[in-house]
Amino acid sequence: MHIPDGLLSTPVWLSLDAACVPAIGYAARRARRELEETRVPLLGVMGAFVFAAQMINFPVGAGTSAHLVGGALLAIALGPAAGVVVMTAILSIQAFVFQDGGVLALGANLLNMAFAGVLAGYLPYRLWGRRRLAFFAGGAFSVLVSASLALSELLLSGVPMPRPVLAITLGLFAVNAAIEGAITAAVLEGIHGLDAGLVRCPEGTVRRTLVGVALVSVLLAAVGVLVASTHPDAIERLAARFGGPTRRLFAGPLADYQARFFASPWLQKTAAGLAGLALIGGVCLLIGRLIARQRSA
C-alpha cells in the first residue's frame, strides 16, 4: 500500500507532505501526555514485529499480494497516539533505508497508514472494548480507510483508473482487509493483555511476553521471507499498468529489502530483515524513552 514516487502529482504530494507535519506532531504531543514509562519497551518490540510482518506478502488474487499493515495492532497495543508515532518511524525508515514507498510521497503514506489508518483501527476498539470482533473490525477498517485514501490521491493526481480496474482493486483491498482483521484478532488474542493490562501483570509475565513477541519477529524476518509472495501489491500493479514509470531519488542501503553484499538470495533478505528489526526496534525504543522522559519532566 506504499505509494512510490512518480505517481502523485506535485500539488498532491506537496500538500500531503505539509499536512502530515501537524498531524504527526499532534500525535507525538498526545503520546507524550499519555505514554507510561512502563510501556516504553512495547514501542520497540511492537515496532519490530509490525516491520517483520510487513515483509511477508501473501497472495490475494489477480496476480497481486498484500501484507499486514498493522495500524490497528499498534493502536490497540500501544494506544492510538503512540501507535501513530511508531508507524511513522516504520514508514520513514522503510522509505529512506529500504526504498519501500516514495520519499516525496512519504507525507501521503504517513497520513494514509500512520495517521488515518491507526486512528481508524482504534475506533472499533474504542466503541466495543476488548472483543474479538472489535479487533477484527479494527484491522479491516484500518486497511479500507488507508486504501481508499491512497486510491483517492492517485485519482486526484490524474492516474487513469477504468471502472472495472477500480472495482477489482477495491475488491482486492477488501480481501486484504479481511485477512488483516483476522491476523490482528489472532495476534491480540494470542498475546493476552497486551494493552493496558500488560503493564499491570507481574514483571516476569511482561518480560516473557516481550521476549516472545521479539522471537516471533526474528522468525518472521529470518524464515518468513522464504514463503512470502513475490507478486506486487495492488498499488504497484496499478502503477505498472496505468501510472507510468516510478522513480527513486537515491539508492537506499538496503533497497528492496536486500543486503546485496551476500550472494545467497535468502541471506540477502534475512540480513536486511534482521537489520531492519534492530534499527526499527532501537529507534522506537529511543523515541519511547524520549517521550517518557519529557512526560516525567
- What distance in Å separates the CA atoms of residue 147 and residue 149, rounded to the nearest whole number? 5
Distance separating the N- and C-terminal Cα atoms of the chain = 38
pLDDT of residue 204: 47
276 HSE (CA, 13 A, CB side): 40
Q: Which of 67, 38, 37 is nearest to 50 (CA)?
A: 67
Asked if the structure places residue 210 within a domain, the reply is yes
CB atoms within 10 A of CB 186: 14
Query: The pTM is what?
Result: 0.92
Domain count, the chain: 1
pLDDT of residue 116: 97
**What cell numbers appear for 204 in the block?**
516476569
pLDDT of residue 194: 45
Q: Which of 53, 76, 67, 107 is nearest to 217 (CA)?
A: 53
Asked if the structure places residue 154 within a domain, the reply is yes
Asked if the structure places residue 173 within a domain, the reply is yes
Q: CB–CB of 98/257 below 8 Å?
A: yes
Q: For the stretch 96-106, what's the b/e string if a residue is b when 16 or more beta carbons lie within 10 angstroms of its beta carbon?
A: bbbbbbbbbbb
Asked if the structure places residue 243 within a domain, the reply is yes
Domain residue limits at 285: 10-296
Asked if the structure places residue 70 within a domain, the reply is yes
Asked if the structure places residue 260 within a domain, the reply is yes
Residue 160's domain is classified under what CATH number? 1.10.1760.20
Provide CB contacts within 8 A for 108, sequence distance 6+. Answer: 3, 8, 12, 13, 16, 17, 20, 149, 150, 153
Residue with cell 506532531: 25
pLDDT of residue 243: 64
| Degrees, nearest 5: CA angle 111-191-270 | 65
Structure-derived torsion over alpha carbons of residues 234, 16, 244, 255, reported in degrees to the nearest 10: -70
Asked if the structure places residue 65 within a domain, the reply is yes
Provide CB contacts within 8 A for 184, sequence distance 6+. Answer: 68, 70, 72, 73, 76, 121, 135, 136, 138, 139
Q: For the stretch 125-154, what's the b/e string if a residue is b when 16 or more beta carbons lie within 10 angstroms of its beta carbon?
A: beeeeeeeebbbbbbbbbbbbbbebbbebb
- What distance in Å separates the CA atoms of residue 188 and residue 131, rounded to the nearest whole number? 10
Q: CB–CB of 7/243 below 8 Å?
A: yes
Asked if the structure places residue 169 within a domain, the reply is yes
Digit-by-digit pLDDT tens for the chain (297 residues) are 799 998 899 999 999 999 999 999 999 999 988 887 777 888 999 999 999 999 888 888 778 888 899 999 999 989 999 999 999 999 999 999 999 999 999 999 999 999 999 999 999 999 998 889 999 999 999 999 999 999 999 999 988 888 888 888 899 999 999 999 999 999 988 776 544 454 334 444 456 667 778 888 888 888 877 778 888 888 888 777 776 666 777 778 888 888 888 888 888 889 999 999 999 999 999 999 988 887 666
pLDDT of residue 206: 55
DSSP conformation class of 2? P
